[in-house]
Amino acid sequence: MTDLDLTAINRQQKTDETLRFLMRCFGDVLDGLGARDSAAALPWQALWDGPGQGQGVPDLTSEDLRAYVIALQLLAQSEENAIAQTRRADEARGGLDQDAGSWDQHFARLKAAGHDGPSLARALAKIRVEPVLTAHPTEAKRRTVLAHHRALYRLLVERENTMWTDAERSDLRTAACTEIERLWRTGHVHLEKPTVADERASILYYLSTALPETLPWINHRLGAAWHRAGFDPDLRAERRGRPQLRFGDWVGGDRDGHPLVDAATTQDTLTLFRAEALALHERQLAALAERLSLSEHRFAPPDALFAWIDRRAAALGEAGAAAVARNPGEPYRQAVNLIAAALPPAEGEIGPGRYTEARAYHAELLHLRRWLIEAGAGRLAEADLDPLLDLAECFGFHLATLDIRQNSAYHDRAMAELLQGSAGPEGAAFPSWPAARRADLMRRELATPRPFVAPGTSVGPVADDMLALYRVLARHVGRHGTAGLGALIVSMTRGAEDLWAVYLFAREAGLLQHGPDGPWLPLPVVPLLETIDDLERCEEVLEAFLDCDVVWRSLMTQAERSGEDLPVQQVMIGYSDSGKDGGVVASFWALYRAQTRLVALGRRRGVRIRFFHGRGGAIGRGAGPTHRFLSALPPGAAGGDLRMTEQGETIAQKYANRVTAAHHLELLMAGTLGATLHPRTDPPELLAAMDFLAETSFAAWRALVEAEGFLEFFAEATPIDVIEQSRHGSRPARRTGKRSLTDLRAIPWVFAWNQARFLLPGWYGLGTALERLQTEAPDQFAALVNAKAEATRWPPIHFLVSNAATALARADTAQMQAYAGLVQDREVAERFLSRILAEHARTGAMLGTIYGAPLAEIRPEVQQGLDRRHAALVPLHAKQRKLLMQWRAAQTAGDEKAAGDQVHDLLLTVNAIAAGIGATG
């Protein structure tokens, strides 16, 4: 049996085979570079016949740590390759209708539910999916390292081809060794904290390179699944029945607690993204011109093409004449040349005949496609024009829509400075006014066009900062329309008055438009509901917000201009802070209940609620299998429309490689279709059971985090102090620098618990809640167990319980005890450790009851993967704890040099453990 015979090799065996190949390459590289001792310290020695002696837990040197970082990243690539290859083997065997979340599975289920081809084609055309790429301090790998890994992954894919000769396979192995040597010679930690420009460059790589390469794969997979389902291909002809895929971005626009993002940063981002989008289209048009070498002497192109060439050339003047003269007798090339010449400049005035918006560019590509079909060259139209049309639809002239986010408290400070000029000291106290008084002021001000201050007047640093930003947005709308601009998001929204403030900033900066019925705002204003309390008050907040005339006028005008059937109100719901606030169960259910209530409110008010899911990269921040997440959404919450964040290391995990990226985007689009069309009702007894679990787990969580000494335990039993010193991201770990749980961002909070293997945010409180439910409401508990079973599965409980089981399995009680040993106050250490260990045991026992067997038995494949990683993580944890003790002791003694000597190796342990766990935060 060969290693490529995937019909007989399971995923774990494939992972081992790929890992064996990579580790042998790595061992050879280290041996050749005189680093045999580091090779001997590497994990999985028996798997790859390494030189190690296997004597206990090695005390890793700095070089060993670097080797471990690479080894664990090689494991991640081995797993990714195994997933991709086994999926391809399933496709070859015709088993894709069992591929969780795929087009094939959803088409099969929807057909069984009575949906036919025409209804699915209509529904597909209304599906809209928009991943929003963000940069948070979680990505532990440098961009350079990511590029080297991408090159190595391509070699792994090439290696799967069975056509290679022995000599060619040897060449592939040499190339793999070369890429691994690059990784070994490259620094794996940021020596300096990355700037916003660095993070923006990383996002640009995905938007301008990786994702454009992925689009053809996405459409191919949809078409192939449509064919396999037996639907009429004509239903998707002429580019019908295609979901809309767009991308959003936060880097350069997310200002919440980020002092380095100012108006200039936002302007630079908009300009850079526009330039990159236009450069992408220029490259694609140049390649198209090379391919469309159709001669008018071999066949007769349509007369309409020649007429269009004459008109287009005349409109472009000298540039048009040059475009036509370049390829005499080849009208299709001439047409491509003219389209390229009509692309607008990234900056400056748009000359005569140039496109002012991407829709015009897209329309002329469609004309060219039709003229190819009329000439009998339909195959060329599909192969050559469709990819450019996809790029134009997806990326436009802006690559991604840039959201603007700012905290409501910052808005309060800006309003105080604006009011101080007109109301004096009383206005300066605006942040401390009661909510009702702030709301009254907003309503009065929104009824008048009079600004607070004259244009160009400086009123204070915070207000000046806000107005400078809104002037950037106003200039962009004036030049390019709203393309490239996303939502204006208010984080920590407490009430409607926090949202109305945005309209006042827009009025001051000239962003508010004036129509015949009154002023309106061309950009959506979006509440971000993050805490449990805010989620519970969601109806109150949104109802009051919609009752404002300028808000309703804005929604109606936006809907009219975008062709929407109903006005659309976007609402962002935060998984990270709600999880930190109430624990995983209360957070999940508060989010679920909030969506249910807002869907009902939208139906009452004649508004479609567009949910924006602020999910993170760890289970404690809303992560989990994409297909399960989508199937677990409340009825009506999808509405054909999905917007969600992709944060930190998840961007690389999902989008760095084309095959993986195409599969993930398929899960998003197919899952949105399924969640929109597949009816589901929520049984009352399960809703009651979840209400009980949420309330009980919330109490357990708050009792833990509010207990005296808990912050001391967290600060010393986890490497949070190292993470706060790290150079992973440009954003500070705390919003204002206060040493409090409230001020600490959810990202480093989860990151720290993961590093010390507690993973508390992913499971704590569930065991207590399940145990009490079983005791106090046995019928509800029995219904819940039944809802987890395959035949009677209720998606919400399946998603919650499966995620908690994964987090619990990744937690390690031996490592918890060892990290608790770092806490100097032994009474504090023992008090919290015993409490956590008891809840861990309780949760494991209750999950075993639900699953009907211990987790390790019921999920053997998951356990095998964890066991493989465990072998590498044990020495890394030991090294991290040793370095933490030395570093903290040096800091206490005021020995800056000794402390500084430890930082680099500490950051290496953070990177390595993050790679070993598979997530940071």
Return the closest-CA partner of residue 403 out of 241, 570, 205, 579: 570
pLDDT mean across residues, the chain: 90
Q: How much is the pLDDT for 208?
A: 93
Asked if residue 281 has pLDDT above 50, the reply is yes
Amino acid at 280: L
CA-to-CA dists, residue 889 to 108, 289, 795, 893, angstroms: 61, 66, 49, 6
Q: How confident is the model at residue 5 (pLDDT cuts 50, 70, 90)?
A: very low
Helix, strand, or coil here: 119? helix
Question: 523 pLDDT exceeds 50?
Answer: yes
Tell me, rounded to whole angstroms, the distance of Cα 468 from its chain centroid. 29
What is the average pLDDT across 284-302? Answer: 91
* Kind and range of the H or E run holding 518: strand 518-520
The SS3 assignment for 870 reads helix
- Cα within 13 Å of Cα(654), Cβ side: 22
The answer to whether residues 784 and 689 touch, using CB atoms and an 8 Å cutoff, is yes
List 244's β-bridge partners, or say none.
128
Q: What average pLDDT does range 908-921 have in this prediction? A: 80
For 576, other C-beta atoms within 10 Å of its C-beta total 28
Contact 68, 40 (CB under 8 A): no
Is it the case that residue 213 has pLDDT exceeding 70?
A: yes
Confidence band of 29 (pLDDT split at 50, 70, 90): very high
Q: What is the pLDDT of residues 556-612, one digit of tens each?
A: 999 999 989 999 999 999 988 888 999 999 999 999 999 999 999 999 999 999 999
Backbone angles phi, psi at 288, to 5 degrees: -65, -40
Query: What's the pLDDT score for residue 743?
Result: 67
Q: What residues have CB less than 8 Å from 146, skipping those under 6 apart?
A: 202, 652, 656
The answer to whether 638 and 674 are in contact (CB under 8 A) is no
Give the residue-averaged pLDDT of 795-809.
94
Helical H runs in 649-794?
A: 649-655, 658-677, 684-705, 710-717, 720-725, 746-755, 766-776, 778-788
pLDDT at 726: 62
What is the tens place of the pLDDT at every residue in 629-651? 999 999 999 999 999 999 867 88
pLDDT at 733: 45
Q: Kindly report, residue by residue over 314-341, the tens digit of the pLDDT.
A: 999 999 999 999 999 999 999 999 999 9
- Where does 292-433 have alpha helices with state H? 303-316, 318-325, 331-341, 358-374, 378-380, 386-395, 408-423, 425-428
Q: Is the pLDDT of residue 756 over 60?
A: yes
- Please give the positions annotated as active site: 136, 580
Q: How far is CA 256 from CA 270, 344, 405, 538, 891, in A?
A: 18, 33, 6, 21, 31
One-character DSSP codes across 462-490: HHHHHHHHHHHHHHHHHHHTTTTEEEEEE
Q: How many Å apart are CA 586 and CA 509, to the nearest integer?
A: 41
Q: What pLDDT is stored for residue 235 in this prediction?
A: 84
Closest by Cα among 647, 665, 555, 611 to 246? 665
Query: What is the per-residue burial (b if ≥16 Cβ within 10 Å, else e) of 840-871?
Result: bebbbebbbebbeeebeeebeebbbbbebbbe
Which residues, including other chains, have CB under 8 Å from residue 325's CB and lie 6 or more apart? none
Alpha-carbon distance of 671 to 166, in angstroms, equals 42
Q: Tell me what pLDDT residue 591 has.
A: 97
> Is residue 1 scored above 60 in pLDDT?
no
Between CA 176 and CA 331 the distance in angstroms is 45
Straight-line distance from the first to the last Cα atom of the chain, in angstroms, rounded to the nearest whole number: 40
pLDDT > 50? residue 8: no
Name the helix (H) or strand (E) containing 406: strand 401-407
The DSSP symbol for 404 reads E
List the domain boundaries for the chain. 1-93+143-186, 401-623, 684-902
Higher pLDDT, 631 or 146: 631
Grade residue 97 by pLDDT with cuts at 50, 70 and 90. Answer: low
User: Distance (Å, rounded) from C-alpha 757 to C-alpha 751?
Assistant: 10
- What's the pLDDT at 422? 67
Q: Is the pLDDT of residue 2 over 50?
A: no
Are 133 and 207 spatial neighbours (Cβ–Cβ below 8 Å)?
Answer: yes
Per-residue confidence (pLDDT) for residue 424, from 0 to 100:
66
Confidence check: pLDDT of 461 > 60: yes
Query: How many C-beta atoms surround the C-beta of residue 10 within 10 A?
Result: 12
pLDDT band at 528 (very low <50, low <70, confident <90, very high): very high
Number of Cβ atoms within 10 Å of the Cβ of 556:
16
d(CA 921, CA 919): 6
Q: At 7, is the pLDDT very low, low, confident or very high (cuts 50, 70, 90)?
A: very low
Helices 826-851 and 710-717: crossing angle, nearest 10°? 80
- pLDDT(661) > 60: yes
Asked whether the predicted pLDDT for residue 137 surpasses 60, the reply is no
**According to the model, what pLDDT value does residue 792 have?**
78
Per-residue pLDDT of 698-749, as tens digits, reads 999 999 999 999 999 999 999 999 888 765 444 454 455 555 567 677 778 8
CB 467 within 8 A of CB 509: yes
Which residue is it, tokens 């526009």? 274
For residues 84 and 663, is the Cβ–Cβ distance under 8 A? yes
Q: What is the DSSP letter of 297?
A: T
The whole-number average pLDDT for the span 132-161 is: 77
**DSSP state letters, 39-107:** HHH-S-HHHHT-S----SS----HHHHHHHHHHHHHHHHHHHHHHHHHHHHHHHTT-GGGSTT-HHHHH
**Tokens describing residue 668:** 């998003």
Task: Provide the pLDDT confidence category of residue 864 given band limits of 50, 70 and 90.
Answer: confident
Map tokens 């986890």 to a residue: 718
349-381: burial string, b at 16+ Cβ within 10 Å, e else: eeeebbbeebeebbebbeebbbbbbebebeebb
Q: Using pLDDT thresholds of 50, 70 and 90, give the confidence band for residue 214.
A: very high
Is residue 296's pLDDT more than 90?
Answer: no
Burial class (CB in 10 A: 0-12, 13-18, 19+), 347: exposed
pLDDT band at 18 (very low <50, low <70, confident <90, very high): very high
The radius of gyration computed from the CA coordinates of the chain, to the nearest angstrom, equals: 29
Least confident of 69-78, 510-519, 789-798, 799-808: 789-798
| pLDDT tens digits, one per residue of 402-434 | 999 999 999 999 999 999 876 667 788 899 999
Q: How many Cα atoms are found within 13 Å in the side-chain-facing hemisphere of 699?
A: 8
Residue 482 predicted with pLDDT over 50: yes
Q: What is the pLDDT of residues 353-399, one digit of tens each?
A: 999 999 999 999 999 999 999 999 999 999 999 999 999 999 999 99
The confidence band for 830, taking pLDDT boundaries of 50, 70 and 90, is: very high
**Least confident span in 224-238, 682-696, 721-735, 751-765:** 721-735
